[in-house]
Amino acid sequence: MSKIANVSPAEVHSNTLGNVRTGLSADAIAEALINNLHCLQAKLPQHATRNDWYMALAYTIRDRMMERYMATVASIAETSTAAKVVAYLSAEFLTGPHLGNSLINLGIWQNVEEALSRVGQDLPLLLEQEEEPGLGNGGLGRLAACYMDSLATLNVPAIGYGIRYEFGIFDQLIRDGWQVEVTDKWLRFGNPWEIVRSEITFDVKLGGRTESYQDEEGRYRMRWLPERMVKGVAYDTPVPGYRVPTTNLLRLWKAEATESFDFEAFNVGDYYGAVNEKVASETISKVLYPNDEPEAGKQLRLAQQYFFVSCSLQDMLRLLQMRGETLDEFHLYWATQLNDTHPSIAVAELMRLLVDEHTMEWDRAWTITQQTCGYTNHTLLAEALERWPLPLFAKLLPRHLEIIYEINRRFLDDLRRRYPGDDQLLGRLSLIDEAGDKHVRMAHLASVGSHAINGVAALHTNLLKQTVLRDFYRVTPEKFLNVTNGVTPRRWVALSNPKLSALITRHIGDRWIANLEDELQHLEPLAIDVDFQRDWQTIKADNKRALADLIKERTGILVDPHSLFDIQVKRIHEYKRQHLNALYLITLYNKLRRNCSAAGTSRTVIFGGKAAPGYRMAKLIIKLINAIALTINLDPVVSQRLKVVFLPDFNVKSSHRVYPAADLSEQISTAGKEASGTGNMKFAMNGALTIGTLDGANVEIRDAVGHENFFLFGLTAEEVEQRRAEGYTPHSLYVSNPELRETIDLIASGFFSSGDRELFRPLVDSLLTRDDYMLLADYQSYVDCQQRASDAYANRNDWARMSILNTARVGRFSSDRSIREYCRDIWKIRLAASDER
């Protein structure tokens, strides 16, 4: 037996596990399928359900990632490689279903299709079977997943640290036009893609008090006496790179009771008491907070954030020790990225671990902490910037509050030296908001505790420097940089748009999938090639038919695949202005019912997106869209030229069908509000033209694709601020614009709410009084721009030319480019030559 003791994963695999667990051929996979059906599902083929076959296939594919996964883990844990490892700390990872992506990245799609056909199974049906791990709300969570795919594909050793929520983002049903939230029981059939690491567990302290003492060396030390402890258990999900050996891991923590059953309580008949701690502890990783901007400020949310951060940092210290490196070099081996402020307690927790638990000097620990951490900001919305009431913070994390006070004292002392007498500045920069009942400003903790602060698009980063973080930019300008978001072309083109991928590969080879920025531009000359245009249009038409089938299946609405598919899919939020799109629809409806040929091109307008359960105006916007849809789709005349659809339960899985089917991508947020957007990139990569404002990454997309290939409208971020500063009176626009007035009056009249004038009053009043997101100011420009889009679509070949140019010119929006910039500018990680650009 000793022979096996010290062999590399590759040897283990090839020597011991043999072909059935590693072979990539159709034969090996077919054999493995039956093996796993027998051994893991304990089912004979004739008795196997679709879920049994799906599970057997999932285990078969997982086996084939194990070799690469363990090789990568070995490289992270073994001393040989002095590589710096990226720790991506995020409260959300919106991975989407794993099966399809794994087949693409391992390059075994055909072989699996072949193997399945031999056992009478159909891959598309098994792909449908997979439950989507909805461990995120929207942009931030999905970006984290795209970045994990790029980190592996660029062979950068990395661990994505997060929370294994038992219940992810809710499933959305639409009942009588209203959103209804349904619990997301994604684990009900188990999860074949994760490996429970029951030996990788850490205790996390909560509540209680602190006390000082002198240690045996006479040093003044602090200890934390917690009120309770929970145990974090690691669950690993392999993250395969695209056609490379690296397979990184997503390490998600599940909360369990340190003592899951209290026998004493049981013996005295206190059965609830016996399991009380278990229930209380497990609550921490029970459910994802479904808010996507407005922060909840709930104690459980802070406990969730501290729980996964503490487990992750303890694990990073353990891995560092396994590598035989000293704590003093922590920052040389770990590049830790804080995905917004949600994990920013990491700054104080790393200080606690280094100073309290490992007796490091404060200054040394602080230098290491700053060198280790980078902070990415994803929003400018004031209500999304996390600030915790002091009493709540003191109750849950008493030691961290002391450490934050000390960080703050030293920070303000330094500022007082640099900006003598400028108490205003100090008050604005302080980690503690002294106003009213005091708060801890988490963005300030993240900013002072990091060596790099980045926004997620050029405009956003500039606005960060001018607004929410301007004082930090003033005192530490060297920390600020921009890294524009990106999306992975593996999931968002190769997986979700296989026909387009095949066409592109037929003309420029397949290197584009891993080198989008260099290769995709080779499509440009084909934009005027009529044969290529025809093939391009045929594929778009096929994708539109596929989406039309999904719409029929989910809503019963029949849409015309030959019409212009105009799509807005994203979380519902007033700044994203789904209700501006709705105003345009009513204006178009009014035009069409007056004169049917008015609008030229027939249109299918598709919406999708979830509203945070507590966000009333967002839910009212969903109701309005569905009410308008009902009216228009039932109108015998207008519905010939216009159909409106709200696609329920928009998520990663359904978005695979949506992005490839779009002709027009709606990116219409109030300029200065959408930090970046990433859906805009997915649409453009799949040949959609964008109608949008100069907001977030729209600005860079427009510059990349050519201003003439982008439908621009609306005020700029500057003009928005100016209009607001000079006093904005939306009502005057309502009065002066008859079409707008007719549109708003129709809503107010109860026309879309069977005469009930009260239903949409909150929305109408907010528009006519405050209109915080400048819908009325941008209304006419938007309506005119939509007419330009309609007119342009009338010339199909010219539209195809612009569509091809959009795809050809958005290579830079690959998440590989973003990750290269993080490696170069923040994590100081040198890529292997082959992965350099």
**Residues binding ligand 26W (CB under 6 A):** 137-140, 143, 291-293, 295, 340, 378-379, 384, 386, 456, 485, 674-678, 696
| 682 given a catalytic annotation | yes
Q: Which C-beta is closer to ligand 26W: that of 291 or that of 497?
A: 291
Q: Position 66: which residue type?
A: M
Q: How far apart are CA 410 and CA 405, in angstroms?
A: 9
Q: For residues 589-608, b (16+ Cβ closer than 10 Å) or e, as one string?
A: bebbeeeeeebebbbbbbbb
**289 vs 284: CA distance, rounded Å:** 11
Q: How far is the C-alpha of 824 from the C-alpha of 831, rounded, in Å?
A: 9
Rounded distance between C-alpha atoms, residue 497 and residue 491, angstroms:
9
Nearer to ligand 26W, 543 or 678 (CB): 678
Task: Find the residue with minimal CB distance to ligand 26W.
Answer: 139
* 3-class secondary structure, 436: coil
The distance of closest approach from Cβ of residue 681 to ligand 26W in the complex, given in angstroms and rounded to an integer, is: 9
**Is-catalytic flag, 587?**
no
Least separation, in Å, of the C-beta of 396 and ligand 26W?
Answer: 16
Catalytic residue, candidates 13, 62, 231, 570: 570
Beta carbons of 229 and 307 less than 8 angstroms apart? no
Please, which residue, 92 or 256, has the CB nearer to ligand 26W? 92
Selecting among 254, 342, 571, 817, the annotated active-site residue is 571
Query: In Å, how far are 261, 523, 540 from 809, measured between CA atoms?
Result: 59, 9, 18
Q: How far is the CB of 255 from ligand 26W (least distance, A)?
A: 19
Nearer to ligand 26W, 67 or 386 (CB): 386
Q: Which helix (H) or strand (E) holds 377?
A: none
CA dihedral 458, 464, 465, 471 (to 10 degrees): -170
Nearer to ligand 26W by C-beta: 292 or 649? 292
795 SS3 class: coil
Contact 29, 112 (CB under 8 A): yes
Q: How far is the CB of 244 from ligand 26W (least distance, A)?
A: 25
- Give the residue with the Cβ less far from ligand 26W, 245 or 297: 297
Q: Which of 164, 378, 641, 657 is catalytic?
A: 378
Which amino acid is present at 292?
Answer: D
Q: What region, left, alpha or beta, does residue 340 occupy, with left being phi > 0 and alpha being psi -120 to 50 degrees?
A: left
- Measured from the CB atom, the residue of 293 and 771 that comes closer to ligand 26W is 293
| Element of type H or E holding 52 | helix 50-77
Concatenate the DSSP letters of all residues of 702-755 into one string. HHHH-GGGSEE-S--HHHHHHHHHT---HHHHHHH-HHHHHHHHHHHTTTTTTT
Q: Provide the β-strand partners of residue 817.
A: none
**Computed from CA positions of residues 410, 416, 419, 423, in that sequence, does the dihedral angle turn out positive or negative?**
positive
In angstroms, give the least distance from the CB of 696 to ligand 26W. 5
Instruction: Output the smallest distance, CB 289 to ligand 26W, in A.
Output: 7
CB atoms within 10 A of CB 459: 24
Q: Is 383 exposed, middle or buried (0-12, 13-18, 19+ CB in 10 A)?
A: exposed
- Smallest separation, CB 584 to ligand 26W (Å): 22
Q: What is the DSSP string of 519-581?
A: HGGGGGGGGG-HHHHHHHHHHHHHHHHHHHHHHHHHH-----TTSEEEEEES---GGGTHHHH
The nearest distance, CB 384 to ligand 26W, in angstroms, is: 4
Euclidean distance between CA atoms 756 and 750, whole angstroms: 5
Q: Which residue, 340 or 835, has its beta carbon nearer to ligand 26W?
A: 340
In a 3-state reduction of DSSP, which class is residue 645? strand
First to last CA, the chain: 46
Nearer to ligand 26W, 9 or 290 (CB): 290
Please indicate whether residue 49 is annotated as part of the active site. Answer: no
Please say which residue, 563 or 667, places its beta carbon nearer to ligand 26W.
667
Q: Which two tokens stand for residue 699?
A: 């600005």
Instruction: Verify whether residue 576 is a known catalytic residue.
Output: yes
Structure-token pair, residue 408: 């703050």
> Minimum Å distance from CB 657 to ligand 26W?
21
Catalytic residue among 678, 690, 743, 807: 678
The single residue of 451, 465, 490, 576 carrying the catalytic annotation is 576
CB of 820 to ligand 26W, least distance (A): 17
Q: Where are the alpha helices (DSSP H) in 107-168?
A: 109-118, 123-129, 139-153
678: annotated active-site residue: yes
Between 138 and 730, name the residue whose CB sits nearer to ligand 26W. 138
Eight-state DSSP code of residue 335: E
* Catalytic residue IDs: 378, 570-571, 576, 678, 682
